[in-house]
């Protein structure tokens, strides 16, 4: 059985410490399963609070080029759901960091929603985020997920009307994931100027923690978002680093460096400090 509420406990602890959560997204099997295993432990040591494990899919229609290539590498390395669950199960001897499966619905549907939720909970997964499964279609996954103590994480977008956000929030658990750009995943030079306003609006309809992702790639951006949201998700920037370092073999150290710098910047921003060297942000 998964330890029900690992996500909830983590946000409670962070809130008590006045911190925002840093959630790295890494594609399982990018470039191989062993690297993914080492990355999870390394990123936790460098300050990651939750981990989103990308489940490879052949047709990732909401992902930009960096994550498309990462997902293709994961697919090539044989990162099936079964292989991912088995890896997480082994990792649970070493870490209790909350782990969320992040992917598209077809591999899950093909595995079987009931069977997946039971196996995922047993392996130590805490939540599932399925990009192409809006609440309208989520019933067949949600029932077994809740029966097994797994959170279903829903996306909210800049195009989501506030009444719909309220309805989605009511059926959500764990946290809400706000997509910060009207677009696919991938690094952006600038954050949406209206992000703060969207956050204030969302706060008025939910008490759940709100994470922000899509487009955040630098410590400066992470710090800025940390002052507005409960969690910061970074994905494509990590996929690009893994790609760049895959051959030299020290991807874990490089990604660890980025994650460490992001978490430091986020903590400083939350304390109201202006960390040295971050004064030249062009945002």
Q: Which residues are catalytic?
A: 52, 63
Question: Which of 26, 77, 97, 179: binder of other proteins (CB under 8 A)?
Answer: 179
Q: Does 161 bind other proteins (CB under 8 A)?
A: yes
61 vs 244, beta carbon nearer other proteins: 61
Task: List the structure tokens of 108.
Answer: 């899950």
Shortest distance in whole angstroms from residue 60 CB to other proteins = 7
List of residues 6+ apart from 161 with CB closer than 8 A: none
Answer for the pair 275, 268: CB distance below 8 angstroms, yes or no.
yes
β partners of residue 127? 100, 151
Per-residue binding letters, 77-96, with other proteins (x by CB under 8 A) = ---xx---------------
Q: Does 75 bind other proteins (CB under 8 A)?
A: yes
79 vs 266, beta carbon nearer other proteins: 79
Shortest distance in whole angstroms from residue 251 CB to other proteins = 23
Separation between Cα atoms, residue 249 and residue 254, nearest integer Å: 10
Question: Which of 24, 107, 174, 219: binder of other proteins (CB under 8 A)?
Answer: 107
3-state secondary structure of 152: strand
Q: Does 160 bind other proteins (CB under 8 A)?
A: yes
- Region of 4-12, 23-31, 33-41, 56-64 interacting with other proteins (CB under 8 A): 56-64
3-state secondary structure of 112: coil
Separation between Cα atoms, residue 271 and residue 266, nearest integer Å: 9
Count Cβ atoms below 10 Å from residue 97 Cβ, excluding itself.
19
Q: Site residues for other proteins, window 125-144 (CB under 8 A)? A: 131-134, 136-137
Q: Does 245 bind other proteins (CB under 8 A)?
A: no
- Burial of 110 (C-beta count, 10 Å sphere; 0-12/13-18/19+): exposed
Tell me the CA distances in angstroms from 250 to 22, 33, 243, 253, one per residue in order. Answer: 21, 14, 11, 5
Task: List the structure tokens of 56.
Answer: 């490879």
139 vs 249, beta carbon nearer other proteins: 139
149 vs 211, beta carbon nearer other proteins: 211
Q: Does 119 bind other proteins (CB under 8 A)?
A: no
189 vs 253, beta carbon nearer other proteins: 189
Separation between Cα atoms, residue 9 and residue 100, nearest integer Å: 14
Vertex 207: Cα angle to 206 and 209 (nearest 5): 100
Q: Does 243 bind other proteins (CB under 8 A)?
A: no
Q: Which residues contact other proteins by CB under 8 A?
A: 56-65, 68, 75, 80-81, 104-111, 131-134, 136-137, 154-161, 164, 168, 179, 181-184
């Amino acid at each position: 059985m998964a330890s029900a509420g690992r996500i909830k406990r983590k946000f409670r602890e962070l809130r008590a410490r006045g911190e925002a959560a840093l959630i790295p997204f890494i594609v399982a099997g990018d470039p191989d399963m062993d690297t993914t295993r080492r990355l999870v432990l390394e990123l936790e040591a460098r300050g990651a609070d939750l981990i989103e494990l990308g489940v490879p899919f052949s047709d990732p229609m909401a992902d930009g080029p960096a994550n498309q290539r990462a997902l293709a590498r994961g697919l090539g390395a044989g990162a099936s759901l079964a292989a991912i669950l088995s890896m997480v199960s082994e990792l649970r001897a070493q870490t209790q960091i909350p782990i969320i499966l992040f992917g598209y619905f077809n591999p899950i549907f093909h595995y079987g929603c009931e069977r997946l939720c039971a196996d995922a909970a047993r392996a130590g997964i805490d939540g599932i985020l399925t990009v192409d499964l809006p609440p309208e279609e989520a019933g067949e996954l949600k029932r077994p997920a809740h029966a097994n103590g797994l959170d279903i994480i829903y996306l909210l977008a800049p195009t989501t009307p506030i009444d719909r956000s309220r309805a989605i929030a009511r059926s959500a658990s764990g946290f809400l994931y706000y997509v910060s750009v009207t677009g696919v995943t991938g690094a952006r030079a600038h954050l949406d100027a209206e992000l703060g306003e969207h956050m204030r609006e969302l706060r008025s309809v939910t008490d759940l923690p709100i994470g922000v992702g899509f487009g955040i790639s630098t410590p400066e951006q992470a710090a800025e978002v940390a002052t507005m949201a409960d969690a910061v998700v970074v994905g494509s920037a990590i996929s690009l680093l893994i790609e760049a370092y895959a051959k030299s073999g020290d991807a874990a150290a490089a990604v660890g460096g980025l994650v460490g710098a992001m978490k430091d910047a986020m903590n400083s921003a939350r304390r109201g400090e202006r960390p040295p060297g971050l004064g030249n942000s062009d945002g």
